[in-house]
Amino acid sequence: MKALDRKLLRDLWKMKGQAAAIALVIVSGVSAFIMLISTMTSLNLTRDKFYREYGFADVFASLKRAPDGLKHRIREIPGVRDVETRVVAGVKLDISGFEEPVTARLVSVPDKGSAHINRLYIRRGRTVDAFRDDEAVLSEAFAEAHGFVPGDRLGAVINGRWKTLTIVGIALSPEFVMQARPGAISPDYKRYAILWMGRDALGTAYGMKGAFNDAVVSLEDGADSGRVTAELDRLLDRYGGLQAYTRKDQISNRFLSEEFRQLQRSAEIFPTIFIAVAAFLLNVVINRTVSTQREQIAALKAFGYSNAAVGIHYIKLVFLIVLIGSAGGIAAGVYLGRGLGRIYMEFYRFPYLLYELKPSVAALAVFVTFAAALAGTLRSVQKAAGLPPAEAMRPEPPALYRKTLIDRLGLGRFLSQPGLMIIRNIERRPVNSLLSITGIALSYAIMLGGTFFTDAFDFMIDTEFKRSRKEDMTVVFTDPTSGRAVYELMGLNGIEYAEPFRSVPVRLKSGHKSYRTTIQGIAPGNRLYLPLDTDFKPIKLPPDGIVLTDYLGEILGVKAGDTLTVEALEGTRPVREVAVARLASQYIGVTGYMDLTALNRMMREGGAISGAYLTVDELHQKEIYRSLVEMSRVSGTVVRKDEIKNFYATQAEVLLFFTFIASLLAGTIAFGVVYNSARIALSERSRELASLRVLGYTRLEISYILLGELAVFTLAAIPLGFVIGRALCAYIARSLSSDLFRVPVVVAPATYSLAAAVVVVSAWFRA
């Protein structure tokens, strides 16, 4: 090894504390990047493989009822490769020993041969026997949640008839990677299941022999999906077709895509902050190293080392630190990536997880880090390389101090001499001071950005499930029913109040923009379901016109007073121009609201309802569940409290993981910045401070001078961090917004305090 390289290693060893602090910041940045990107690419890879091998459909359509012969017409649509017609229905399940309402989606599998589209991955057992009407394949997540194995039985109410089904297999499907009830924002494995049964058996049960109510289509490569869906819509129109949609709008796939978007965005934001901080710290440290090694540099040059050789020597030092940090970051990133992947596998049900870290991703992380580090230290390296040897021989001139702003304002006399030293030192190097403050502020911001989800979700749940909704449970009927059904419900023992609602699938159009959703008809004098205005006050629905979720207003580009076209996709499918009465604030999903009577009028139907919101006497709750399971026109029941409970249960692990990672990352930044500031201050001013000791200052008073500066930095960083953190939260929330859900920018005071505490503790722990 060259003597100069030996010097490098020993120099590095000597500054090991500082180098380690910087390397740790790099480890954080690189590992966050690797973790997020590798999780994203792994899920992506897994998804693509699963979709490809199990024939995930390209286009989806549901309808009222059409004869099987239509299948051939669909296949003839240009661009269609294959089509499969199915019978799909919502059912109630009765799980012995589990007293809460459970609903399921029942999907038919072809009797002859295996499906070409949306094939099942059978994890255990087998698929159903075509000639048995009492066999079913159960989705894995649900089976796991209840401990079902092939051979177990469960009760189901299929088209109003009670039936005992034998579970013959446990399966996964590309169609239900994310198994959430329509309208829910998180999966509920205990209360929502997917069941697959033979086509013939289901056809018989639902009066669909030789007919179908759902079609899935695969497309030729390069086919125009827009034209296929339009053609399909035209074909299915007279059979009660709801708008056909592509993968992009398929709910399970939507959730996955949103997740990828979120991971990608996080991978852009967080690592960038770390790399920037690392570059700044390297700049400070290398600058200081060059200053202390002036005479050595002079000697090297005197002996004929070129400027480039000296420059490269210091670049190697930077490179070594980056290398150590990147290597640690990649290792930690892979470890965390696998952990995050496992957590995601709880949400997204794939048969397997193909973990992959592309070498190019790791290389990119190292390259970007090194480039940033180089950019950060270039000035110091140039200073070393360009140092004229004769000048370097002389010791560095004393630092230039001036009277500070505080002195000029005449406030200096209120400060002690050590106080003045602190202030002047901060003011002497405003850029470095500002960068140190920004560094600590960024750690605060990261802490906020990583933990505000908890508050945001609390607020979201509070608004959606507590302020806007007051019911105990929601009952949905199999078909629109006469309003009298409410009295039937009211007749059940223990039901205190029932509020009917009508839910109509519609296509809303404004100009060239259109969106498929439902209009919720709210009963006049509503007490249980209360759409909220933008001040979170209940909206009194107007007798005419429609109230839209604010986000839906954005999507359609309409505001209160505008008119939009409503195409109902049910019943006689009327098309109407409706005025937008106002916008409602809503975080989950997007909907239109109308007065129930107005909606019935628009649909040209009598007092039809789709279901009801109920309040019940808790004492009779179990009895009510049972009665509802037995009522043939009830297709499903959802309990509000269960929804909330389930949301937290499913999100808790993810939130905990992110809070933990964010605290760790924020801690490393605060630690890195403060530790380096302290070390540099100590090294720059050791003589000065030693002189003060000679003059009779105590150790404590000396510490005050040194730590006072850091305390000023830390305290100044908190308000700045607050601003940056708030902006970061807003940016994250904004970038995660979709029609599925919007994250409110809400940060509870406790979170601010927690973040501040983490930063201050990391800072002082270090100092």
Contacting positions for other proteins (CB under 8 A) = 2-4, 6-7, 10-11, 14, 295-296, 298-307, 388-390, 393
Q: How far apart are CA 281 and CA 490, in angstroms?
A: 69
Nearer to other proteins, 10 or 699 (CB): 10
Nearer to other proteins, 386 or 561 (CB): 386
Q: Which helix (H) or strand (E) element contains residue 669? A: helix 640-694
For 694, the token pair is 């000679």
Query: Could you tell me if 337 and 38 are in contact, meaning their C-beta atoms sit under 8 angstroms apart?
Result: yes
Taking the complex as a whole, the smallest distance from the CB of residue 323 to other proteins amounts, in Å, to 20
Taking the complex as a whole, the smallest distance from the CB of residue 24 to other proteins amounts, in Å, to 23
For 504, the token pair is 């109509």
Taking the complex as a whole, the smallest distance from the CB of residue 302 to other proteins amounts, in Å, to 4
Taking the complex as a whole, the smallest distance from the CB of residue 13 to other proteins amounts, in Å, to 8
Query: Could you tell me if 136 and 109 are in contact, meaning their C-beta atoms sit under 8 angstroms apart?
Result: no
Backbone torsions φ then ψ of 518, nearest 5 degrees: -125, 155
Nearer to other proteins, 6 or 75 (CB): 6
Nearer to other proteins, 301 or 507 (CB): 301
Taking the complex as a whole, the smallest distance from the CB of residue 285 to other proteins amounts, in Å, to 16
Taking the complex as a whole, the smallest distance from the CB of residue 316 to other proteins amounts, in Å, to 14
Residues facing 178 on adjacent strands? 348
Taking each helix axis as running N to C, give the angle between helix 640-694 and helix 251-292, from 0 to 180 degrees, rounded to the nearest 10: 0
N-terminal to C-terminal alpha carbon distance within the chain:
37
Query: Could you tell me if 244 and 233 are in contact, meaning their C-beta atoms sit under 8 angstroms apart?
Result: yes
Taking the complex as a whole, the smallest distance from the CB of residue 7 to other proteins amounts, in Å, to 5
Query: Could you tell me if 636 and 90 are in contact, meaning their C-beta atoms sit under 8 angstroms apart?
Result: yes
Nearer to other proteins, 219 or 317 (CB): 317
**CB count in 10 Å sphere of residue 117:** 23
Taking the complex as a whole, the smallest distance from the CB of residue 312 to other proteins amounts, in Å, to 13
Nearer to other proteins, 289 or 668 (CB): 289
Q: 426-444: string of b/e by CB count within 10 Å (b at 16+)?
A: bbeeeebbebbbbbbbbbb
At position 625, the amino acid (one-letter code) is Y
Taking the complex as a whole, the smallest distance from the CB of residue 298 to other proteins amounts, in Å, to 6
Nearer to other proteins, 164 or 306 (CB): 306
Nearer to other proteins, 2 or 413 (CB): 2
Residues facing 192 on adjacent strands? 103
Query: Could you tell me if 103 and 281 are in contact, meaning their C-beta atoms sit under 8 angstroms apart?
Result: no
**Strand ranges inside 401-458, DSSP E:** none
Nearer to other proteins, 9 or 652 (CB): 9
Taking the complex as a whole, the smallest distance from the CB of residue 49 to other proteins amounts, in Å, to 53
**Strand ranges inside 234-328, DSSP E:** 245-246
Query: Checking phi first, is residue 679 left (phi over 0); if not, alpha (psi -120 to 50) or beta?
Result: alpha
For 320, the token pair is 């070594």
Q: How far apart are CA 361 and CA 372, in angstroms?
A: 16
Taking the complex as a whole, the smallest distance from the CB of residue 306 to other proteins amounts, in Å, to 5
Nearer to other proteins, 303 or 414 (CB): 303
Nearer to other proteins, 191 or 313 (CB): 313
Nearer to other proteins, 16 or 358 (CB): 16
Task: Report CA dihedral (706, 712, 718, 723) to the nearest 10 degrees.
Answer: -130
Backbone torsions φ then ψ of 584, nearest 5 degrees: -115, 150
Nearer to other proteins, 359 or 388 (CB): 388
The radius of gyration of the chain from alpha carbons, rounded to an integer in Å, stands at: 33
Alpha carbon 182 to its chain's center = 19
Task: Report CA dihedral (229, 231, 233, 235) to the nearest 10 degrees.
Answer: -140
Taking the complex as a whole, the smallest distance from the CB of residue 300 to other proteins amounts, in Å, to 7
Q: How far apart are CA 734 and CA 748, in angstroms?
A: 18
Closest CA to 639 of 438, 396, 475: 475
Q: Which helix (H) or strand (E) element contains residue 192? A: strand 192-198
Taking the complex as a whole, the smallest distance from the CB of residue 384 to other proteins amounts, in Å, to 14
